[in-house]
Structure 1
């Protein structure tokens, strides 16, 4: 499925079928980091804990002067009505050809393929950017749903990173 990238008010917007990923700029991320909806309609009323933590990473990167547009947190939205069902994004800009992704779904959106769609779209976009050779992701050893997401996208497990299981993707399967 074709990935469409556009910009809306300075935000990167990635659309692929039923999925829209809308970048949250640092000012939006600050609201999300406080657990507020940041002008979005959330399926469960507010962003989930993982989205709150990811938004805080974007805020910290902006405060440290290392934030780069396109490489922060995104709201995962249903394309049909733009209701936010979770958050996904990058742990920061590419470093030595690698970028790390993460994702979080609202409780009532789990089990419907949204995390898989988001991880695939983020990875596809990232691997299309100059200098990005590998997309990384980590999971807790007991987080089987997240491991299944990564496997469906095409990630392969590599050497663990401390207590976390690590995965890499260098290209998307056809």
Structure 2
């Protein structure tokens, strides 16, 4: 499926099929980190816990002066009606060819393939960037839904990182 990348107000927007990923600025991330909707309509009224945590990472990176546009948090939005169903993004800019992704869905959006779609779009965009050769992800051992997302996208499990299961992706399945 074709991935369309554009910019809206300086923010990266990735669109693929039913999904739109809209980058959240550090100011928007600060609102999300506080559990506020940040001018988005959320399926469950407010962003989920994982999304607020990821937003805090974007805010911290901005405050530390290491935030790089395109490599932070994105709202996962249903293209058909503009409703936000979760958050997904990068744990920071590429480092030595690798970048790490994460994702979180609102409770009402789980089980409908949104995390798989979001992870696939993020990975496709990242692997098209010249500074990225591998995308990383981790899960807790008991998080079978997240492991299934990674496997559907094409990630391969590699050596664990402490208590977490680690996965790598170097190319997308066609």
Tell me, yes or no, whether TM beats 0.5: yes
Corresponding residue of 1:95? 95
Corresponding residue of 2:148? 148
Matched, 1:107 2:99: no
Matched, 1:75 2:75: yes
Spell out the pairing of 1:11-50 with structure 2 (5 A cutoff).
11-50=11-50
Distance 1:129 1:67 in 2: 17
Distance 2:134 2:81 in 1: 32
Residue 113 (structure 1) shift: 0.0
Distance 2:81 2:99 in 1: 30
Q: Tell me the SS of whatever aligns to 1:61.
A: helix
Residue 18 (structure 1) shift: 0.1
Residue 50 (structure 1) shift: 0.1
Aligned residues: 174
Residue 22 (structure 1) shift: 0.2
Matched, 1:165 2:162: no
Residue 131 (structure 1) shift: 1.5
Corresponding residue of 1:58? 58
Q: Tell me the SS of whatever aligns to 2:75.
A: strand
Distance 1:131 1:93 in 2: 10
Q: How well do the aligned residues superpose, as a CA RMSD in angstroms?
A: 0.3
TM-score (norm 1): 1.00
Q: Tell me the SS of whatever aligns to 1:20.
A: strand
Q: Tell me the SS of whatever aligns to 1:158.
A: strand
Residue 48 (structure 1) shift: 0.1
Distance 1:101 1:117 in 2: 13
Superposed structure 1 runs of 4+ greater than 3 Å apart: none
Q: Tell me the SS of whatever aligns to 1:150.
A: helix
Residue 130 (structure 1) shift: 1.2
Distance 1:12 1:142 in 2: 33
Distance 2:34 2:2 in 1: 34
